[in-house]
A and B are shown apart, each in its own frame.
Chain A
Amino acid sequence: MDKQLNGAQIVLQSLQDHGVEHIFGYPGGAVLPIYDEIFQQESIEHILVRHEQGATHAAEGYARSTGKCGVVLVTSGPGATNAVTGLTDALMDSIPMVCITGQVPTHLIGGDAFQEADTVGITRPCTKHNYLVKDINDLARIMHEAFQVATTGRPGPVVVDIPKDIQFALGPYMKPKAVKHKSYQPQLKGDMAAIKQAVELIANAKKPIFYTGGGIINSGPQASQLLREFVKLTGFPITSTLMGLGSYPSADKQWLGMLGMHGTYEANWAMHDCDVMINIGARFDDRITGTLDKFAPNSKKIHVDIDPSSINKNVMVDVAIVGDCAHVLEDMLRVYKSDAVTPDKKALASWWEEIEGWRDRKCLAYKKDAKAIKPQYAVERLYELTKDADTYITTEVGQHQMWAAQYYRFEDPNRWMTSGGLGTMGYGIPAAVGVQVAHPKSLVIDIAGEASVQMTMQEISTAVQYRLPIKIFILNNEYMGMVRQWQELLHGGRYSSSYSEALPDFVKLAEAYGATGIRAETAAELDDAIKRMIDTPGPVIFDCIVTKDENCFPMIPSGAAHNEMLLADSEGLDIEVSDAGKALV
């Protein structure tokens, strides 16, 4: 007979058996038995956040920087509803997460009990899967399934809702190996016939481009290695989505920079003009494609994705390969080598010539300012002064996020944590907390905006409590910058509610939390201030006062195509956006 444990012990035992070392959470009435078990053991450290949303983003940062599963523990009702934003964020960006929620005892469910919410009902559309545990005999199996579902296939968040009486009840425990899911079996290996077809397209390409995404990161470091090998072998140009930054080194000359709405001129033009597009682990998101009927109109498209529903969802492709990026890349490379494919050198040379022409446009150039700090300059300097350290970058959402993506450069995967799909302001601080928990000795910087950062500012208290020396680098332009930019370009410069009024003094705020505050107001003092930030042993809030009305360029306006980009020097021109374009987000 199996060993009998109570529900709370089963939860802890299963976490241990899945190698969990840290969980992010917030206690409450419906999870007290689990917190009591946490108190009585030492192998798992609990990080107490200040708001449940913070726990979910911390778990995301932890997961994305390690490749492991992030684990969250919250109470019923408001604990669970506060976690919804982070769960949705993890679903959109395919982050593995197990979120355990307490629930009122089973006999009270449905009676509008205190702190009762229909957690599985609320989280059904924002999780990969969820469970309400009604029988203690199911708990161990469900915990193991939750980890399997969260971490395999296209990763995502899984909620396990556990009523309080189940946490006290006695039941059997079996090891993870004993559990095999009946219906859930994600496909890892790609179809060989499709892979051969893809290699044939690649072999005959005249204007090819690799377009890669977060799937490479999720697949693991091996996928990045294989990608690098394949890109080198072919000599093709490569671009990536926001989520894929770091899978290919930005220092390499085949790297064209990020593509999409705020991507580089060369990456977007190459996408538009390519004849063969090799999409590995990206999902043709609307930030990438721009208007669909003008998207890479003359190209054959290859799409590698582990999620069959990503295939032909937004863009119809010519060769679809369902499988894990690393597995498929390995097979592609093998076929490419065994077929002794030699790329069309002449065509490729003239393709690169075209690309160099676009590159010469120097789309990321901006007007320097002798006195004031330009936000682009701030990120450039931050990069120069931190690139040789063991650095991880998180961001909030908005202009600063795009500048970080454009001007900070990544050489390795798992170094860049940002909210891509959902675009969650307030992601950066808690994500930095999670990253720093996983990498206590590394330099973890949240490149932030003064508006976003106030959404989860309370997590600086978590950082202080656990001595996590995260650096919050705020590009403070006193505006919700991206909102202001869209209002300038699309709404006649009527800045409706986008001014950050009544801002706190961030230096004093840092001090109030027991952290260090640093402010830089001129370009001349920026470098020294950044160095001071790096040298400060504890958490720092860095208030970087930047020019207020800077716009984020290049930009593909809504409803436009990749070859209709706006550049910084087109500023001041009348920008025509169609009514259909204005209706887009």
Chain B
Amino acid sequence: MSAENQIERHTLSVLVDNEAGVLARVIGLFSGRGYNIDSLTVAEVDDQEHMSRITIVTLGTPPMIEQIKAQLGRLVPVHRVVDLTVECESVERELALVKVAGKGDARVEALRMSEAFRARVVDATPDSFVFEITGNTEKIDAFIGLMKPLGLREVSRTGAAAISRGPEAM
């Protein structure tokens, strides 16, 4: 398989006017054109200028990712689109709340693993924990994988937020 056809995972940062319907435009673009969304986060990041930042993790071949960038850039309320995976060095973090229920050895093991992963206990009952864990997507995937045999009940994840390294802003 040539590099052209290789499916890659890219993180896109999109700076938009925080106006009604802007998220629907972005999501509609992805569903309408058959692109993938692995995760998506959005919140206002500048209350003076009413700008929001959308972080989208998407899957596609390099030409497909280029096309996604161009299509996003074409939306009227979009200010900038940066592919953090190729245009710069970046850091990426995701937060997850992980509920694990159980007693005895499994419970002890879950708590021990949570310490190894630097997860915090944000709720505890005699037979359950809710862990808060922050990290890149792979780390969270790994933690959830380990919790599965230890009584994993449910997971809530934020999706990735990402930013470039160094002093430059997007």
Contacts and interface: CB of A to CB of B under 8 A. Distances in A.
B73 interface: yes
Contacts of A181: 76
B112 interface: no
A125 interface: yes
A14 to B, nearest CB: 18
Contacts of A182: 17, 79
Interface stretch (A24-32, A218-226, A307-315): A307-315
A128 interface: yes
A120 interface: yes
B76 A129 contact: yes
A156 to B, nearest CB: 10
Contact of A124 (B17, B28, B67, B71): B28
A183 B32 contact: no
Contacts of A307: 74
B116 to A, nearest CB: 45
Contacts of B74: 307-309
Contacts, number: 43
A183 B78 contact: yes
A316 interface: yes
Contacts of A132: 20-21
Most buried by A among B17, B20, B70, B73: B70
Most buried by B among A130, A308, A312: A308
B73 A316 contact: no
A121 B24 contact: yes
Contact of A311 (B20, B70, B78): B70
A interface bracket (residues with beta carbon within 8 Å of B): 20 to 34
A124 B76 contact: no
Nearest to B4: A316
A313 B78 contact: no
Contacts of B79: 182-183
A144 to B, nearest CB: 14
Contacts of B16: 183
B38 interface: no
A184 interface: yes
B71 A309 contact: yes
A120 B78 CA distance: 18
Interface of A: 120-121, 124-125, 128-130, 132, 134, 149, 181-184, 307-309, 311-313, 316
23 contacts: A124-B21, A124-B25, A125-B28, A128-B76, A129-B75, A129-B76, A130-B21, A132-B20, A134-B20, A182-B17, A182-B79, A183-B17, A183-B76, A183-B78, A308-B73, A309-B67, A309-B70, A309-B71, A309-B73, A309-B74, A311-B70, A313-B67, A313-B70
Interface of B: 16-17, 20-21, 24-25, 28, 32, 63, 66-67, 70-71, 73-79
Given A121-B21, A184-B76, 12 more contacts: A120-B21, A124-B21, A124-B24, A128-B76, A182-B79, A183-B17, A308-B73, A309-B71, A309-B74, A311-B70, A312-B63, A312-B67
